[in-house]
Amino acid sequence: MQIKTKTGVTTRSPRSKGCLMCRRSKVKCNEGHPQCSRCVRRGTECSYPDALELDFRDENSKAAARTAALWRTRTQAARLLREPSAPSRTLEDLHDRVIASFYRDFDCSAKVSNPWIEFFQMLPTLYRQSARVPSSPTRQAIRALALAHHSRQQQQPVPQLEIMARTEYSHAITQIRLQLQRSHGVPSTETVVSVALMGLFDSILPSPDPVHSWHAAHQHGAISMVRQQIASPTSAASIDPYLLKYQYLLMVINCLNQRSRPQLPLKWWAAVMNPGFSAAHLFCTMYRLAQWQAEIDSHIVTFNHHAMSNMVDTLLAADDALDAWETQLPPSSHFSEREVGGDDPAILQWSGAPSRVYVYETSWNAVPRTFCFATRIMICQNILLCHGYAQDAEQTIVEMIRHICRSTHAVISGGGDGSNDAEEGLSMRGRAIVWPLNVAASALQRNPRVLAQVGVESAQWTRRALQHVLRLSGSSLALNLDYKTEQ
């Protein structure tokens, strides 16, 4: 890919090495887009390697190179982890212990099918099945993730646990590479699952050398693999729908945060969503919002004010539709409201905490509403971006932030009253509220008028709550929020 610098000099992207046809012919490519000059002259089809896959393979190569050094420390790490009271504990005992903890914290062992965690409910079965295949990357990927999670949950850092986690991570990467080589680059569901787990690992234990490593490489690699599978009618049906839904949700949330277009088509997500699933309309709106944001950004660059005005109408219609969707949610998704009491957890006793909270039937029933609140904030932020100022949109942002704050405890407590499911799935529930809280905190930081209406103290509580759930979920996401009292 060619890039024009501010000085007008054309340079080449370091990742680009020519089109596929020139690569096969081993000739120099001028990397013209959409077709290079050689392919134009010869009348041949011109296409370039998938940038997402290249990033993924680059990261794999770096991870695989670390395997040997980490392996030498593994035996010592296992010995140091043995407790004096149980000298006979084996490495397998440790794996069983941390995997059981991971299953509990991420609700992998939930008996009732849950659309919010169904990808994680797949993992115990995949782990058992992979025991019969020594070359399977899935078993090592799950072990790596469990060890990483266990390492983050300890009160005191345990370097040996991190060493073991990174060792399993590197071996999983090696097996993924070998599996792709054996299948001539055609990914299987097991391969995509393993790569998706490596992406989750990166969010818990990021690379110690972040300057030379891209934390989203594996997530983008999984997207590239899914895109490769759905491009073929014969292989599309083989993609596990649980895996597909998980990848789509991650992709859309990241596209919303980064204001980029989704790399996978909506039709495949819609095809695997149960029409009776209450969040189906919400997910489709989130996907379309990611597309709309990218269009808005292009209109801003081209000064297309007419298109931006039309986009306001689209966004207002989407917000009205979400408001109507919320009123039609089933009774199980409804909530009651109560005052905060002295017996409530510490998070509700902090300065700036909401004085009233929402009580849902279960934690997971609170998730679609909190996602809806966050999506409406982002819709209204884009209305303000296109319109300049819109009092109704600004007031909706303030209202949605308050809704998210009042629902936060219901998501992470196991229920609005804190009495149900106190431990099971705690880390997974923490992850479910991270995005809504992050959207709320970002809106408070960006818009002084919204901050003035919500209040600096409440804004500070929102940030503390976000930090709290990041710790609960084991995420390594760093925060850089600074609310000032001067308006």
pLDDT for 235 equals 53
Confidence of residue 390 (pLDDT cuts 50, 70, 90): confident
Taking only the tens place, the pLDDT of each residue in 51-103 is 555 555 555 555 555 544 554 445 455 554 444 444 345 777 888 889 999 99
Taking only the tens place, the pLDDT of each residue in 241-293 is 999 999 999 999 999 999 999 999 999 999 899 888 889 999 999 999 999 99
- 102 and 229 belong to one structural domain: yes
pLDDT for 55 equals 54
Query: Whole-angstrom Cα distance, residue 475 to residue 368?
Result: 21
- 421 and 302 belong to one structural domain: yes
- 224 and 285 belong to one structural domain: no
**Is 59 part of any domain?**
no
**Is 374 part of any domain?**
yes
- 352 and 384 belong to one structural domain: yes
- 254 and 106 belong to one structural domain: yes
Taking only the tens place, the pLDDT of each residue in 101-125 is 999 999 998 888 889 999 999 999 9
- 249 and 282 belong to one structural domain: no
**pLDDT: which is higher, 111 or 355:** 355
Taking only the tens place, the pLDDT of each residue in 372-384 is 999 999 999 999 9
Residues 6+ positions from 421 with CB-CB distance below 8 Å: 362, 363, 414, 415
**Is 406 part of any domain?**
yes
- 144 and 223 belong to one structural domain: yes
- 284 and 351 belong to one structural domain: yes
**Is 295 part of any domain?**
yes
**Is 38 part of any domain?**
no
Percentage of the chain beyond pLDDT 90 is 46
Task: Give 206-253 as a DSSP string.
Answer: --S-GGG--TTHHHHHHHHHHHHHHTSHHHHTTS-HHHHHHHHHHHHH
Report the largest interatomic distance among the alpha carbons of the chain, rounded to a whole angstrom: 77
**pLDDT: which is higher, 352 or 10:** 352
**Is 478 part of any domain?**
no
Q: Which domain holds residue 235?
A: 66-80+89-258
pLDDT at 317 over 50: yes
Query: Whole-angstrom Cα distance, residue 397 to residue 405?
Result: 12
Pairing relationship of beta strands 10-12 and 335-339 according to DSSP bridges: unpaired
Q: Using a CB cutoff of 8 Å and minimum separation of 24, what contacts does 256-263 make?
A: 256/286, 256/289, 256/290, 256/293, 256/378, 257/438, 259/290, 259/293, 259/294, 259/297, 260/290, 260/294, 261/290, 261/291, 261/294, 262/287, 262/290, 262/291, 263/52, 263/223, 263/224, 263/227
- 382 and 455 belong to one structural domain: yes
Count of domains forming the chain: 2
**Is 14 part of any domain?**
no
- 372 and 403 belong to one structural domain: yes
Kindly state the average pLDDT of the residues 295-308. Answer: 92
- 288 and 253 belong to one structural domain: no
- 448 and 380 belong to one structural domain: yes
Single residue among 225, 258, 291 that ends a domain in this structure: 258
Taking only the tens place, the pLDDT of each residue in 16-31 is 568 878 887 878 888 8
**Is 457 part of any domain?**
yes
